[in-house]
Amino acid sequence: MFDALSSKISSAFGSLRNRGKISVGDIENTAAEIRQALLEADVALVVVDQFIEKVRVGAIELLPTLQSGVNQAQAIFELVNTELTEILGGGARRVRYAKNPPTVIMLAGLQGAGKTTLAAKLAKFYKDQGDTPILVASDLQRPNAVNQLQVVGQNVGVPVFAPEPGNGVGDPVKVARDGVAFAKSKLHNLVIVDTAGRLGVDEDLMSEASAIRDAITPNEILFVVDAMIGQDAVRTAEAFRDGVGFDGVVLTKLDGDARGGAALSIAALTGRPIMFISNGEKISEFDIFYPERMASRILGMGDVATLAEQAKKAFDPDTSKKLEDKFIKGEDFTLDDFLEQIEAMSKMGNMGKLLSMLPGAGAMKKQIDNFDESEITRTKSIVQSMTPAERRDHKLLNGSRRARIAAGSGRQVSDVNKLVEKFTAAQKMMKQMRSGKGPALPAGMDFNAGMPKPTQQQPKKKSRSGNPAKRAAENS
Ligand code: GDP
358 or 39, greater pLDDT = 39
User: What percentage of the chain carries pLDDT values higher than 90?
Assistant: 37
Pick 3-87's CATH classification: 1.10.10.10, 2.70.150.10, 1.20.120.140, 2.90.10.10. Answer: 1.20.120.140
Task: Report, as an integer, the average pLDDT of 301-322.
Answer: 68
Q: For 195, how many CA atoms within 13 A lie in the half-sphere containing its CB? A: 33
Task: Label the pairing between strands 160-161 and 190-195.
Answer: unpaired
C-alpha to C-alpha distances, 98 to 181, 190, 250, 272, 327, nearest whole angstrom: 15, 9, 20, 19, 47
CA distance 44 to 440: 42
User: What is the position in ligand 1's atom list of the atom closest to the CA of 142?
Assistant: 2
Query: With a 6 A CB cut-off, is 349 part of the ligand 1 pocket?
Result: no
CA distance 476 to 471: 8
Residue 108 alpha carbon to ligand 1 centre in Å = 14
Residue range 309-435 forms a domain whose CATH class is mainly alpha
Residue 401 confidence (pLDDT)? 95
Least confident piece of the model among 18-22, 220-224, 444-448: 444-448
Question: What percent of the chain is helix, strand and coil (3-state, nearest 5)?
Answer: 60, 10, 35
Query: With a 6 A CB cut-off, is 284 part of the ligand 1 pocket?
Result: no
Task: Report, as an integer, the average pLDDT of 350-373.
Answer: 66
Query: With a 6 A CB cut-off, is 143 part of the ligand 1 pocket?
Result: no
Confidence class for position 313, pLDDT limits 50, 70, 90: low
Nearest CA, atom 28, ligand 1: 281
User: What is the position in ligand 1's atom list of the atom closest to the CA of 119?
Assistant: 7
pLDDT at 459 over 50: no
Q: In what order do the strands lie in the sheet with 160-161?
A: 160-161, 133-138, 190-195, 103-108, 220-226, 248-252, 274-278, 286-288
In this structure, are residues 81 and 299 in contact, taking their beta carbons and an 8 Å threshold? yes
Nearest CA, atom 5, ligand 1: 114
Which residues, other chains included, contact 204 with Cβ-Cβ below 8 Å and sequence gap of 6+? 198
Name the CA radius of gyration of the chain, rounded. Answer: 27
Query: With a 6 A CB cut-off, is 279 part of the ligand 1 pocket?
Result: yes
For a substitution probing ligand 1, which of 117, 140, 208, 222 has the most ligand atoms within 8 Å of its CB? 117
Query: With a 6 A CB cut-off, is 368 part of the ligand 1 pocket?
Result: no
Alpha carbon 207 to chain centroid, angstroms:
34
Q: pTM, whole model, 2 decimals?
A: 0.71
Confidence class for position 387, pLDDT limits 50, 70, 90: very high
CA distance 78 to 346: 35
CA distance 196 to 159: 19
Confidence class for position 460, pLDDT limits 50, 70, 90: very low
Q: What is the mean pLDDT of the chain?
A: 82
Residue 124 confidence (pLDDT)? 95
pLDDT at 416 over 80: yes
Q: Identify residue 413 by its one-letter amino acid code.
A: V
Residue 316 confidence (pLDDT)? 67
Residue 123 confidence (pLDDT)? 96
pLDDT at 448 over 50: no
Nearest CA, atom 12, ligand 1: 114
Residue 160 alpha carbon to ligand 1 centre in Å = 19
Residue 281 alpha carbon to ligand 1 centre in Å = 6
197 or 443, greater pLDDT = 197
456 or 402, greater pLDDT = 402
> Could you confirm whether domain 103-301 is CATH 3.40.50.300?
yes
Backbone angles phi, psi at 474, to 5 degrees: -60, -45
User: What is the position in ligand 1's atom list of the atom closest to the CA of 194?
Assistant: 4
Confidence class for position 120, pLDDT limits 50, 70, 90: very high
Nearest CA, atom 7, ligand 1: 114
Q: How far apart are the first and last CA of the chain?
A: 53
The residue count for the chain: 476
In this structure, are residues 425 and 439 in contact, taking their beta carbons and an 8 Å threshold? no
CA distance 416 to 382: 7
Query: With a 6 A CB cut-off, is 121 part of the ligand 1 pocket?
Result: no
pLDDT, tens digit (0-9, with 9 covering 90-100), for 163-205: 999 888 989 999 999 999 999 999 999 999 999 887 777 788 8
In this structure, are residues 224 and 252 in contact, taking their beta carbons and an 8 Å threshold? yes
Residue 92 alpha carbon to ligand 1 centre in Å = 24
CA distance 40 to 259: 8
Least confident piece of the model among 65-74, 341-350, 389-398, 423-432: 341-350
Task: Report, as an integer, the average pLDDT of 46-51.
Answer: 92
Decide: helix, strand or coil at residue 191.
Answer: strand
pLDDT, tens digit (0-9, with 9 covering 90-100), for 53-81: 999 999 999 888 887 767 788 888 889 99
- Domain map (residue ranges) of the chain: 3-87, 103-301, 309-435
